[in-house]
Amino acid sequence: MSGARIVVIGTGYVGLTTGACLAALGHQVTCVDVDDVKVARLAAGRVDILEPGLEELVTRGLAARRLRFVVGSRDAVAGAGAVYLCVPTPMGAGGAADLRAVEAVIAEIADILPAGCAVVTKSTVPVGTAQRIRALLGRDDVPVVANPEFLREGTAVEDFMHPDRIVVGSDDESAARRIADLYRDLSAPSVVTDAASAELVKYAANCFLAMKLSYVNAIAELCDRLGADIVSVTEGMGYDRRIGRSFLKPGPGWGGSCLPKDTHALVQVAESVGFDFSLLTAAIVENIAQRDRIVAKIAGAVGGSLAGARIGVLGLAFKAGTNDLRDSPALSVTAMLAAHGAEVTAYDPAVREALPGMTVVDDPYQVAKDADAIVVLTEWAEFTKLDWGYTADLMQGDGVVDTRNLLEPRTIMDAGLSYVGLGRSRPARVALRS
């Protein structure tokens, strides 16, 4: 399908990246949204999502006339060879994925889709969604294809253009191979399978990563209690090719737009077929417990009580390189601090909006002024370049709680501050204070 006509419905994080990258591969792409203000901004090349390389791709796509943005789906799908569904599928009641946006789009376009046009689910959807969409379409001449995305915020363009794999699934094999062919210029292995298997791949991958993160957070807690160093432990683990080095860094808990909703959704899917997925449930419980442990560490850094404590927070986005606050563990921790009576002042290089329960400032040194403790909650590289001697002079306390193990402990201690990391009890023992 070289130069295929593709419609992408939804211009959020997944939809905009998908549309811009497909246009870069030489396809004719129309991106659709219901927000006319957003469409106008995108049509002018203005991208509000912080994602390296995305704005440049949009600009090039517009200039080459391979990418356009419109309001409304019905006119856009006329003559399309594939329609990608990139609409939100948030966590609904009981943790199940809410498919109302998907169903609304299908209801809008079902009667106008060209015969042979493939409806492609790019949004993360539960196993069985392709079958449900076929039923809603009520058409035998429109195949449904599952093509899950594996995009990480902060590296989404790189992930799309240089993927580990491409997964395409449909009960119509010819349609699956037609969609797989859209990516033929990318150097990556393709998995072409049935729709249910493709849908499950995304959940299986994300939930495995969530369990891996919960596991390493638990190991970090053991390191604190046993006097071991998590950096050495994970280095020793990472050399094992069966384990690998990725997702072996402890933190304040996993969050973002994918892992929380995908883990809950897979638990719900498992329950619907009578399977108790206790392993995954334990990872979710451990993730909640991690945030309690972080708050306890912060309380310990200010003498035990958070009531009236002044806490400076570095980082609010769920990960560095993004401005995404959805299910950010940083916001969960700051909310808990405020609930315990702490006064929170926060800085994030990508967040300028006012947020409840805290004061958001535009200078990292402002969070240190009269602070009893400083807490690193997002792994922005710029925090490693702060003048920690100057920071210590601004503070009234001496605690630095590094929930990302981002900082060099010796640098913090040489500034006369007390360093608390995750699973780093050994380097923290010799804290210096003038």
Residues forming a β-bridge with 67: 29
CB 12 within 8 A of CB 86: yes
| 243 DSSP 8-state letter | T
Name the binding residues for substrate: 150-153, 202, 247-251, 255, 319
Mean pLDDT of the chain, nearest integer: 95
Say how far apart CA 350 and CA 320 lie, in whole Å: 9
| 7 DSSP 8-state letter | E
Name the binding residues for NAD(+): 33, 38, 89, 124, 153, 261, 326
CB 413 within 8 A of CB 431: yes
pLDDT of residue 239: 96
pLDDT of residue 4: 85
pLDDT of residue 425: 76
CB atoms within 10 A of CB 194: 16
Active-site positions?
258
Rg (CA), the chain: 24
Q: How far out from the chain centre does Cα 377 lie? A: 15
pLDDT of residue 433: 41
CB 157 within 8 A of CB 52: yes
Q: How far is CA 189 from CA 118, 155, 164, 175, 180, in A?
A: 22, 19, 7, 18, 10
Residues forming a β-bridge with 85: 9, 121
For the chain, domains (ranges, CATH) are 5-192 (3.40.50.720), 194-433 (3.40.50.720)
| Residue carrying the six token digits 């160093």 | 229
At 307-353, the pLDDT tens digits run 999 999 999 999 999 999 999 999 999 999 999 999 999 999 999 99
Name the binding residues: 33, 38, 89, 124, 150-153, 202, 247-251, 255, 261, 319, 326
What is the pTM (predicted TM-score) of this model?
Answer: 0.91
CB 231 within 8 A of CB 250: no
At 50-90, the pLDDT tens digits run 999 999 999 999 999 999 999 999 999 999 999 999 999 98
Instruction: Read off φ and ψ for residue 119, nearest 5 degrees.
Output: -90, 120
Two tokens, residue 193: 């399978």
pLDDT of residue 428: 41
At 90-128, the pLDDT tens digits run 888 788 889 999 999 999 999 999 999 999 999 889 999
Beta-strand (E) ranges in 170-236? 190-193
pLDDT in tens, the chain (434 residues): 557 899 999 999 999 999 999 999 999 999 999 999 999 999 999 999 999 999 999 999 999 999 999 999 999 999 999 999 999 998 887 888 899 999 999 999 999 999 999 999 998 899 999 999 999 999 999 999 999 999 999 999 999 999 999 999 999 999 999 999 999 999 899 999 999 999 999 999 999 999 999 999 999 999 999 999 999 999 999 999 999 999 999 999 999 989 999 999 999 999 999 999 999 999 999 999 999 999 999 999 999 999 999 999 999 999 999 999 999 999 999 999 999 999 999 999 999 999 999 999 999 999 999 999 999 999 999 999 999 999 999 999 999 999 999 999 999 999 999 999 999 976 544 334 43
pLDDT of residue 95: 85
